[in-house]
Amino acid sequence: MSSSPSIAIASGKGGTGKTTVAVHLAAWLAGRGHEIQYLDCDVEEPNGHLFLKPEIKAAEPAAIPVPVVDMNRCTACGKCAAVCEFNAIAMLKKPMVFPELCHGCGACTLVCPVDAIREEPRDIGTVETGLAGPIRFAQGRLNVGEPMSPPLIRAVKIRRDPAAIALFDSPPGTSCPVIATVRAADFIVLVTEPSPFGLHDLTLAVETFRPMGLPFGVVVNRADPADERVQDFCRQQEIPVLAELPDDRRVAETYARGELLFDRLPEWRDRMAALWARIEERL
Amino acid sequence: MKVVITSSSQTLAEPIDMHFGRAKYFILADTETGHATAHDNAQNLHAAQGAGIQSAETVAKLGAEAVITGSVGPKAFRALQAAGVKIALVESACPGTEALRRFKDGELPVLDSPNSEGHWV
Amino acid sequence: MKELVVISGKGGTGKTSLTASFAALARKAVLADCDVDAADLHLILQPEVRRRESFVSGREAVIREADCAGCGRCAALCRFEAISAVARDSDGARVFRIDSAACEGCGVCTWNCPAKAIDFPERTCGEWFVSATRHGPMVHARLAPGAENSGKLVALVREQARETARQSKRDLVLVDGPPGTGCPVIAAVTNANAILVVTEPTVSGFHDLSRVLQLAAHFRIPAAVCVNKWDIHPDMADRIEDQARSAGAVPVGRVRYGPEATDAQRRKLAVVEAGNSPLADDIRVVWQNWLDSTAESGEKESR
C-alpha cells in the first residue's frame, strides 16, 4: 500500500461510544509503534482531546471566502445577487452582502462583468494541532452560533498525512457534516448500541453509507447478551460485526472522568487489538 | 406614499402576516388613493435561507417607502434600512385595512432595531 | 402558547427518553421531533401518520453525459470537491460526474458550463409528517440520507407543530431537539420560550454543556439543565450544576443511572409509563421543576 489507511469512526446515533472507540484505537495503535494521526471532525462537539489530552501547539483560524464589492467599480447590474443560490447578496440600491449566509462558492465573483468583487476570508472556527504523546492530533472547533461546519471539517482533513494511519472522529448522524468527514476514508467503523434507538439510527447510517460505496463494519458497544437485534440486523444485511464491547458500569465511570480504560480495564487492549485485526483484513 | 403590508392572502380585508421574511403575499397599497395590488412572495416562503433579505429586496423593487408587518429579523432589518424602507409594526394580526388606517393616523410604532431573532441564522 | 425545547449538546445523553416521558406527563402538548437527522421519538410514541409531505430544499447539479464535452471547467470551478473525472468515453474524452452528497447546490458549474450540459433541479431532501399519538398530535420528519441538515426542515417541523397547536387549541409545544451546536440546533432553539439541556456527568458532557449554554445566552433563551445518569460521577454532577448556575441556567434535577430507560424503550414505552421506579420519580420531578421555572416566560407569545 502506498499510503497508510484512513478510518472514519461514525455512528448514526450520538452517545454510542464513537469517541471512546476512536481514542482507544488511536492509543492502542500508537502503543504498537504505528504512526497515528487523530483528526477530530466532530467540530460542533470535539471531545477526543478530553481523553487524549494533547498539547496544542498551533491554532489556526479556518475561514471561507466571502465577497466584498468594490462600490467604485460596481455598476449595480444585480447579476451577483441573482446568481447567489444562498440569498447572501441582496440587490437594494447597490449590492449588499450578508457574509453569514455565504457558502463561499465564488459564483458572484465569476459572474461580475466588471471584476468588482474580490473575496475575503470569514472565520468560522479554529483548527488546533498538537501532539498527544506519539499521536499527532488535530481538531476543529466551530465558533458557537456558526451554522456551517463542512468547510471546517475539510480544513481539519487537509491536515491528513498519508504516511500515518488517520482516524477521523465523525459527528453523529447521517447529514452533510458526516458526509464531509467520511468522504475519501478507506473504511468506516459504525459504533452502535443494542437498543431500539441504536438499531434505528444504525439502519439510517447504513442507508447513507452503502450507496456511497464505502466499506464499513459495525462495533456493538454496551453489548447485551439479552438483546441481539443489532447483530441480527448485521447478519441479514451482511455487514461485518467488528467487535462487541460489553456493557460495564466501570467503563461509564472511567469515561466520565476522561481517563483511558487501559489501566483499570486492561482487557480493552486485547479488544482494540482484535478490532484492528478485523479492520485491517478489510482494507 | 406607497407601503407594503405583509399578508397571508391577497386582500387587505384579511389579517396581516406577522412574519416579514416568509409572508405569503406583499400587498402594495397607496396611502392616498387606497389602490392596492397583491404580489406573491411564495419563492421566499420556500427559500432555504435568506428569505428575509430577499423579501427586503422585493419590497425595495416594488418602490415602497414603508412596510407594515409584525416582526422583522436582523438581516431583513439591515437590508430594509439600506434600502431606506421604514418598518411599522402591528402587535397582533389585525386586518390589513385596519393596519393601513392606523399607519396613516401615525398610531403604529416605527421599528428602530430588529424585533425577531429570525427563524435561524 | 409556550414552546419548550429539549436539547443535549452531546448526543446520547437520554434526551429523547426524557422527552417521551415529558410527552406522557404534559398530557395536552403537541410534540415535535426536530432531531430530523436521527429521529427516534416515534419509536416510543408510535405515531399514526395523518399527513405526509415531501421536503424540497435547494438544488443540485447533474451532468447530462450525452451533452458533456469533457472540458473539465466544472471540476476546476467547484469549490466543494464534488466533481471529478470518473472515466474516459470511446472518443477518449473525460467523463465527469457530480457526487450528489458533496454538491453544495451553488450552481457555479451549471452557469459556467460552455456546453450548457449541467441541469440544476430542485432537491428532495426528506419528508415530514403530522401524526396522532397516544399523547397528542406529533409533527416529525425524516431527512434523506446524506442530505443537508440545513435547519430549514427543523424550522418547518416547529412551524407545523405551532400551527397544529393553534388548530387543536393546545397551549404547549414540546420539542425534541437535535444534538450539537450547529445549524439544526440554532433552528430548533431560536424564539423558543425555554430550553432544557439534558447532559451527563462526564468530561464530554461538561465540555459540551458549556458550548450549548453559550448558544442559549447568545439567543437569550432561558435555559434549564438536567443531569442524567448523575450517579456515574457525582462530583461531576455537582460541577455541571455549578457551571450551569454561573452561565445563568437553572438546574432542575437529576436522573439516576439505571436499566429502566432501555427496558422501557424496548417495550415502546416512556419510562414514566413503564411502571413505578425511582428513575420515573426522578423524571417527574425534573418535568415539574422545569415547568415551574418556565412559568414566568409563559406569557410571552412564542413566535
Residue C22: its pLDDT value, please? Answer: 98
Nearest CA in chain A to C152: A147
pLDDT-based confidence at residue B117 (cuts at 50, 70, 90): low
Please state which of the ranges B100-109, C133-142, C294-303 shows the lowest mean pLDDT.
Answer: C294-303
Q: Which domains does chain A have, with CATH numbers?
A: 6-62+124-280 (3.40.50.300), 71-115 (3.30.70.20)
Topology of domain C2-57+126-299, per CATH? Answer: Rossmann fold (3.40.50)
Listed by start position, the domains of chain B span 1-52+73-86+110-121
Chain B CB within 8 Å of residue A144 CB:
no
Residue B68: its pLDDT value, please? Answer: 96
Measured between CB atoms, which of A86, A145, A196 is closest to C266? A196
pLDDT-based confidence at residue C300 (cuts at 50, 70, 90): very low
Q: CA–CA separation, C60 vs C55, rounded Å?
A: 14
CB contact under 8 A, A142 and C143: no
Residue C301: its pLDDT value, please? Answer: 42
Identify all chain B residues contacting C191, using CB atoms and an 8 Å cutoff.
116-117, 119
Listed by start position, the domains of chain C span 2-57+126-299, 61-120
Identify all chain B residues contacting A93, using CB atoms and an 8 Å cutoff.
60, 82-84
CATH architecture designation of domain C61-120: 2-Layer Sandwich (3.30)
Residue C290: its pLDDT value, please? Answer: 97
> Which of A176, A232, A157 lies closest to A202 in space, CA to CA?
A232
Q: How far is C229 from chain A (nearest CA, A)?
A: 10
The predicted model gives A196-209 an average pLDDT of 94
Q: pTM of the prediction? A: 0.88
Residue A2: its pLDDT value, please? Answer: 64
Chain B CB within 8 Å of residue A69 CB:
no
Task: Quote the cell numbers at residue B112.
Answer: 428602530
- The per-residue pLDDT for range C191-205, each reduced to its tens digit, is 899 999 999 999 999
Residue C303: its pLDDT value, please? Answer: 40
CA distances (Å), origin A154, targets A35, A158, B26, C24 = 22, 6, 41, 42
Nearest CA in chain C to B72: C303
The predicted model gives A77-95 an average pLDDT of 93
Put simply, the chain A residues between 227 and 256 with a CB less than 8 A from any chain C CB are 227, 249, 252-253, 255-256
List the single best residue of A141, A142, A144 to mutate versus C (max C Cβ within 10 A): A144
pLDDT-based confidence at residue C296 (cuts at 50, 70, 90): low
ipTM value for the complex? 0.89
CB contact under 8 A, A47 and C102: no
CA distances (Å), origin A234, targets A47, A207, A220, A231, A239 = 28, 13, 10, 5, 5
Higher pLDDT, B112 or C109: C109
Identify all chain C residues contacting A79, using CB atoms and an 8 Å cutoff.
none
Chain C CB within 8 Å of residue A125 CB:
no
Chain C CB within 8 Å of residue A145 CB:
yes
Chain A CB within 8 Å of residue C66 CB:
no
Domain B1-52+73-86+110-121, CATH class in plain words: alpha beta
